[in-house]
Structures are given as structure tokens and as C-alpha cells.
Amino acid sequence: MSGNSFGHLFRISTFGESHGGAVGVVVDGCPPGIEIAESDIQVELDRRKPGQSELTTPRKEEDTISILSGIFEGRTTGTPILLLAKNKDVRSEDYNDLKALYRPSHADFTYQAKYGRRDWRGSGRASARETLARVAAGAIAKKYLKEQLGISVLSYVEQVGDIKAVINPQTVRIESIESNAVRCPDLSCATKMIDLIKEVQSDGDSIGGVIRGVVLGAPKGLGAPVFDKLHADLGKAMLSINAAKGFDIGSGFDSVHLRGSQHNDPFELNDSGEAHPRTNNAGGVLGGISSGELITFRVAFKPVATISKEQDTVSTSGKPVKLSAAGRHDPCVLPRAVPIVDAMAALVLMDHYLRHKAQNL
């Protein structure tokens, strides 16, 4: 397997490079009859596209999506859907000095080791530009989950550097997430985060943080035992995103500080006489299968590898070099990564819903 496809019944295959002609995705296994227009997809891509604020790369790409197959008279046909966005603002000359260098903490070194060659123009498939395809496919999944099943998928920036917002994920709505450039629903924290990102940017550096993912309205029963646990697939999806370095669900790594009596979620009866957990340290997943509670997880993102601050590296011929990278790069990936986290979560849930439905006819 080449590693360019994701999912089982709802399966996507992405293609294209940062400085190639276009980036796109084939979506296979999409149910027929879903009402989809290019505008439904474009609204998600506009949240991810570069140049949308002073906190992102100045590269100007409209990321205009075209639907080339799989949709007729405004509805999916059940056949493969091809989505394509052409690259417009390509400046490959910005990378001429990187042809024979390895950027620290970048994929240059490992791509060369694996393939014996690499696309040095914006790092090819290792570029976050590939995530455009994921967001385009995820828009279809998000629409189906929301309109057909009442499942809402959203995420927001919870932390940048040492600045952390304390937010109840149960009450977060898209309007508060989109109210500021950093996509943190806590406006006071958002202002501090923005100031920190600008400070780091002016120093030629970058900074990381944490995105919180939330799924509201997920039914019981999604997921599978052992190798296809719902949270395992969510973890794989999130860790496949550029710059993602960590994933946890529910109380996650914080649970190591608790005892079982503190961490367990006691069951009780709701007003309808049905059992449900009183608390949700499990994050909405028990034994790898959704419990019907709020699904909540975190994704940690490292600082962007390519920075203009001078660093030590070596050339491909083995000579020590001082590198101050040119090009156009985000000082912090988190604001643009929010719709990517949304998309990957929606793709996992869509796939598991179809698998659950196929098993339980």
C-alpha cells in the first residue's frame, strides 16, 4: 500500500503536490442521493486556505474546488467522486536554496531515504497543502453526518504555547470558534494567543499548541473491537495530519494522575430509564465503541519546522551549513489545522457509521 488512501467503506485517495498543477481527492463509497454543491465544499476549504489572516502564510490560493465526477443533478450518484483544486500562486524559486539541504525536523531527510529522491519545491506530498484534499472530502462526510444523522463535528484551538483556554466542549459552537483569527472560542485567551503568535513570527520562529476535537450527537455502537477501535482510528486520522505529534481522548494523559475510583464513569439511569455514564472521562468511547456520550479528544501540534531563524544543518553531500529558510510558511499551524481536524474526524465517523450499518442490517 502506498499510504495515500484512508478509510474502508467510505474511502478517500488524495493526490497532488504543493507546487504541482493541482491537489485533489477521489471519494469512493459515498452513498447515493446526498445533495452536494461545490459551495458546500468551498466553505470548508475557505477555512483552511492560506492567506486568510496575518497569522498564516501569505501564499494566495483561492483553493477553488471543482467537482469532476460522481455528482449528477446536484446529488451523489454512488460512483467515485473526483474533487480538484488547481494550484495558482506557486513560487518554486523560493526553494532553490533547499535543493541540496536537509531542513531540520522536516521530511526532506526521510523522503530522500525512502524514495531516493524528493520534491524540494514546498516539500511535495509532505506539504500541508495535501490536506486541502482531506478537507474537501470531509465536507461531504460532515454534511451527511449533520443532515442525515444529527451528528455535529467541530474543533477549536485550546492551547498555543503555554496559553491554555479552559472551555466546556459541550457548549462550544461554530460561531464562537470562527469569531477570531486563531479559532479559540475564549476571546480573552484568543487575544493572548494572537499576540504570542505575532511575537514568534516577528522573531522568525514558530510555535505549536493543542486543538480540541468534539463530536456531538454520535450514536452508540460506532467502532469495532481490538484493531478497529473508534478512538484508534481517530488517533490514526489525527496523527496523519502534518505537524501532529500527539493524540489523546477523554481524560487522556491526565488520567495517569487519577485512581480508578476517580477516573471511572459511574452509570446511572436517565429520565427515560436508560443507563448512561454520569461523567465522561472516557471521552465518549468505551472498549473502542461509542457510548452515545460526547466524543472529545485532543491533538498536539509541533511548531512548524521551516523557519527563517538561522539553524544548523547539513547538505546532501555531507557538508555543515547554516540555514535561514525562505518561502512562505505559517508561524503556527493551529488556526488552519482546525478544519483539517474536523474533516478527519468526520471521515472516521462516516466510515464507521457505514460499517455499523452494513453489519446491523
Range of the domain at 327: 5-359
Kindly report which listed range (88-97, 215-224, 244-253, 316-325) carries the lowest average pLDDT score: 88-97
Checking if the pLDDT of 338 tops 80, the result is yes
pLDDT at 89 over 80: no
State the Cα–Cα distance between residues 318 and 144, nearest whole angstrom: 52
Residue 6 has pLDDT above 70, yes or no: yes
For the chain, give the mean pLDDT. 92
User: What distance separates the 2 farthest-apart alpha carbons in the chain?
Assistant: 71
Measured CA to CA in angstroms, residue 21 lies from 16, 17, 18, 80, 159 at distances of 7, 8, 8, 21, 35
CA distances from 52 to 14, 56, 64 (A): 23, 7, 14
Q: How many helices (H) and strands (E) does the chain have?
A: 8, 19
First vs last Cα of the chain: how many Å apart?
31
pLDDT at 102: 86
Asked if 166 and 188 touch (Cβ cutoff 8 Å), the reply is no
Q: Rounded to an integer, what distance in angstroms lies between the CA atom of residue 267 and that of residue 290?
A: 15
Segment 103-116 shows an average pLDDT of: 89
CATH number at residue 117: 3.60.150.10
Q: What is the mean pLDDT of residues 341-345?
A: 98
**The pLDDT value given to residue 323:** 83
Residues facing 151 on adjacent strands? none
The residue type of 256 is V
Lowest mean pLDDT among 87-96, 183-192, 317-326, 333-342: 87-96
* Residue range 254-299, pLDDT digits in tens: 999 999 999 999 999 999 999 999 999 999 999 999 999 999 999 9
Mean pLDDT is lowest, of 12-21, 180-189, 343-352, for 12-21
pLDDT of residue 253: 97
Q: What angle do CA 250, 251, 253 make, to 5 degrees?
A: 120
Residue 273: count other Cβ atoms within 10 Å of its Cβ. 6
Question: What is the arithmetic mean of pLDDT over 73-98?
Answer: 84
pLDDT tens by residue, 27-71: 999 999 999 999 999 999 999 987 667 777 666 668 899 999 999
- For residue 1, pLDDT beyond 60: no
The arithmetic mean of pLDDT across residues 234-244, rounded, is: 97
**Number of compact structural domains in the chain:** 1
Question: What pLDDT was estimated at residue 66?
Answer: 97
Q: Residue 185 pLDDT > 70, yes or no? A: yes
Q: Which three cell numbers stand for residue 2?
A: 502506498
Q: Which of 170, 156, 251 is nearest to 211 (CA)?
A: 156
CB 20 within 8 A of CB 79: no
pLDDT of amino acid 316: 86
Tell me the mean pLDDT in the region 191-211.
95
Q: Which tens digits make up the pLDDT trace of 157-172?
A: 999 999 999 999 999 9
- What band does 21 get if pLDDT is binned at 50, 70 and 90? confident
Q: Cα–Cα distance between 43 and 47 in angstroms, integer?
A: 7
Average pLDDT over residues 93-100: 71
CA 291 – CA 267 distance, rounded (Å): 11
